[in-house]
Structure 1
Amino acid sequence: MDGPKSYLGWKVDYTAPVGEPAFAGPDSISWQVFKNPVALAVGGVCAVLLEFADARIRSGVWDHSVFKTDPIGRSKRTGTAAMVGVYGPQAAARRVIQGVTNMHARVKGKTPTGEAYQALDVELLDWVSATASYGFLMGYHRFIRPLSDADQNRFFAEGETVAGLYGVQTKIRSLADFDTMMRKLLPRFEPHPINTEFLDIMRSGRAAPGVPKGLQSSLVNAAVEILPPEVRTKLALGPEYDLSPAGRFAVKTMARIAESVPDTAGPPAQACERLGLPRSFLWKSEAECARLLESARNRPLPQEASA
């Protein structure tokens, strides 16, 4: 739906100011990945499972957020923060990121075993950032379109500035970097009832009203499938979470439709308009995108034309 989106009381208008760049460009891998709602749904659940594998993050989210009582609102706010970091004008993205950081500064406590945590601990910030990048990338790579190693590395590099604004110190630049960070934390990972409660919420459709329950279960199982095998074993997510052939077909069909049918009302399309491109730009062929980008570079934006 058109119009400014709200986050933490601020309005985020993806169509203005005209010409203001985002932290990633319209020719980026990030703009392709984040336009597909299937990649976001699958990748988002995968990222949360990776975060919840660590008791400090699991306790921080479960004890200090409204996810249990308002999964829809919590999911929408998380999605808005991700979208504004990719598509939003840089000034708006900085405001939102600072707001998230301010909120996280108040999140601290102890795990059930008595281990202290703070949301702004560098190790936790680094891991949360890494899990989001891994989840969204692998969701797209496995269910929408395979990406080359070079494109995967581009995707990681495109997120470095935003990661730094969140306070991330160790920025992953490849899947190998992610694997290194994961293996350092792997001994901490454990199964926990909160993990399965989270998956039950996501499977029930409470976090995505309007999506058939069967399809929601398939999206959750797809998220479990892209977990690194060692993590899935640590979390004891057994065969009940295997993606069936019918479920795989449903997820890939939904992903293919989302990849080919433009959503001209969402943030990706609005961001294209802000930069002088058609709202359907991200759904066009590579050759057509290159032509439109070249044309936009040579054409003054409205604010420049009237100067």
Structure 2
Amino acid sequence: MSAIVLPGPLQRRVESAAAAFLAAPGLPHVDFSRPAGEPALVPADSLSWRIFRNPVALFIGGVAAVILELAEPRVRSGVWDHTSFRSDPVGRLRRTGLAAMVTVYGARSTAEAMIAGVGRRHAAVTGTADDGRTYAADDVELLDWVHATAGYGFGEAFHRFVRPLSEAERDRAWAEGAEAARLYGALGAPTSQAQWAAQLAAMTSKLTRSPVVFEFLQIMREAPALPAAARPLQRMLVRAAVDLTPPAVADVLDLDRRHGLRPGEAAIVGALARAADRLMLRSSPAAQASVRLGLPADHLWR
């Protein structure tokens, strides 16, 4: 399908809002169009470049990934006790979103430097989980789980709401994340759909219910991530994320149908996600990274 370009004033407004989300005070400035010619961790013809350009799938997938993270007691304590989810959820969303964009679209040198910084911060995070186990944020098992939940969340959101991916494409998406996983220290992260299924089965017995999951969902429903008029839509996207929770994990967390999409809402979310997939934003990391590599800005929309 061809790219959508909105009428001039509306296109400029959307471009400005999208650029501002990743350029808020306190965030480092990243120029995805520089250095000219420098490749990213994954190539421009990758499936990852197409998945991560879609803001609707990213929002849904990101929330789904955090639900899975918070199901693991040690990860839950690390995230909830050492990050700003409760005090500054939108700031946290922006930082996480920028990190994802740099990992996929940033020049290799930029991505490597950012990931090294994350690793240094992780090395200082330790504590005791609510089940009594001690943890360290740079524990490989925990890094593997966090990386896997992100891979599942983003890929599954695209598969469910943008377009179905074949088994080969799903394997390809996992494999494309291998280098970033290694740099983050997730040395046993899955590189295929089968490996993800095996990891999920092995981890399920270690997951526990917690009110933190429901607190997180409430925060995400109410946080001013979208304009006030779009808050009902935001709540729908959070419900879509709940629907992505694998059934075995949903059972552990007591996430039932009340927390997921209501009748007819899946079609609305799908229509929105597919429309977002066609919206061409020249200010987006995807377009800017294409320009960096000497490709047309609309390379990914052709």
**TM-score, normalized by length of structure 1?**
0.88
Shift of 1:276: 1.1
Residues 42 and 135 of structure 1 are in contact (CA less than 8 Å); yes or no, is this contact kept in structure 2?
yes
Q: Which residue of 1 aligns with 2:162?
A: 144
Which amino acid letter does the alignment assign opposite residue 66 of structure 1?
S
Equivalent residues, number? 284
- Listed as ranges, the matches of 1:230-269 within 5 Å are 230-269=248-287
Q: Which residue of 2 aligns with 1:38?
A: 56
The alignment partner of 1:117 has SS state of: strand
Which amino acid letter does the alignment assign opposite residue 244 of structure 1?
R
| Equivalent residue for 2:298, pick from 277, 280, 288 | 280
**Alpha-carbon separation, structure 2, partners of 1:9 and 1:253:** 32
Cα deviations across residues 5-55 of structure 1 (Å, max 9, x unaligned)? 589874321001111000111111000000001110111011001110011
The alignment partner of 1:188 has SS state of: coil
**Alpha-carbon separation, structure 1, partners of 2:27 and 2:198:** 38
Residues 44 and 136 of structure 1 are in contact (CA less than 8 Å); yes or no, is this contact kept in structure 2?
yes
- Listed as ranges, the matches of 1:65-76 within 5 Å are 65-76=83-94
Assess, with a 3 A threshold, how the Cα gap between structure 1 residues 7 and 23 changes in structure 2: closer, same or farther. farther
Residues 75 and 142 of structure 2 are in contact (CA less than 8 Å); yes or no, is this contact kept in structure 1?
yes
**Alpha-carbon separation, structure 1, partners of 2:258 and 2:251:** 13
Is 1:99–2:106 an aligned residue pair? no
Q: Which structure has more RCO (C-alpha within 8 Å, separation ≥ 6)? A: 2
- Listed as ranges, the matches of 1:122-201 within 5 Å are 122-201=140-219
Residues 7 and 77 of structure 1 are in contact (CA less than 8 Å); yes or no, is this contact kept in structure 2?
no
Larger radius of gyration: 1
Shift of 1:113: 3.3
Residues 203 and 216 of structure 1 are in contact (CA less than 8 Å); yes or no, is this contact kept in structure 2?
yes
Assess, with a 3 A threshold, how the Cα gap between structure 1 residues 190 and 209 changes in structure 2: closer, same or farther. farther
Which amino acid letter does the alignment assign opposite residue 87 of structure 1?
Y
The alignment partner of 1:12 has SS state of: coil
Q: Structure 1: which 5+ residue stretches go unaligned?
A: 285-307
Is 1:51–2:69 an aligned residue pair? yes
Shift of 1:251: 1.1
- Listed as ranges, the matches of 1:1-40 within 5 Å are 1=16, 5=23, 10-40=28-58
Residues 6 and 12 of structure 1 are in contact (CA less than 8 Å); yes or no, is this contact kept in structure 2?
no
Residues 282 and 297 of structure 2 are in contact (CA less than 8 Å); yes or no, is this contact kept in structure 1?
yes
- Listed as ranges, the matches of 1:80-95 within 5 Å are 80-95=98-113
Assess, with a 3 A threshold, how the Cα gap between structure 1 residues 100 and 210 changes in structure 2: closer, same or farther. farther
**Alpha-carbon separation, structure 2, partners of 1:116 and 1:21:** 39
Assess, with a 3 A threshold, how the Cα gap between structure 1 residues 72 and 143 changes in structure 2: closer, same or farther. same
**Alpha-carbon separation, structure 1, partners of 2:100 and 2:300:** 18
**Alpha-carbon separation, structure 2, partners of 1:155 and 1:5:** 27
User: 159-168 vs 209-218, which deviates more?
Assistant: 209-218
The alignment partner of 1:253 has SS state of: helix
| Equivalent residue for 2:237, pick from 206, 219, 223 | 219
Q: Which residue of 2 aligns with 1:61?
A: 79
Q: Which residue of 1 aligns with 2:220?
A: 202
Which amino acid letter does the alignment assign opposite residue 275 of structure 1?
L
**Alpha-carbon separation, structure 2, partners of 1:51 and 1:181:** 13
The alignment partner of 2:29 has SS state of: strand
Which amino acid letter does the alignment assign opposite residue 171 of structure 1?
A
**Alpha-carbon separation, structure 2, partners of 1:9 and 1:261:** 25
**TM-score, normalized by length of structure 2?**
0.89
Assess, with a 3 A threshold, how the Cα gap between structure 1 residues 209 and 193 changes in structure 2: closer, same or farther. farther
**Alpha-carbon separation, structure 2, partners of 1:38 and 1:209:** 15
Shift of 1:227: 1.4
Shift of 1:228: 1.0
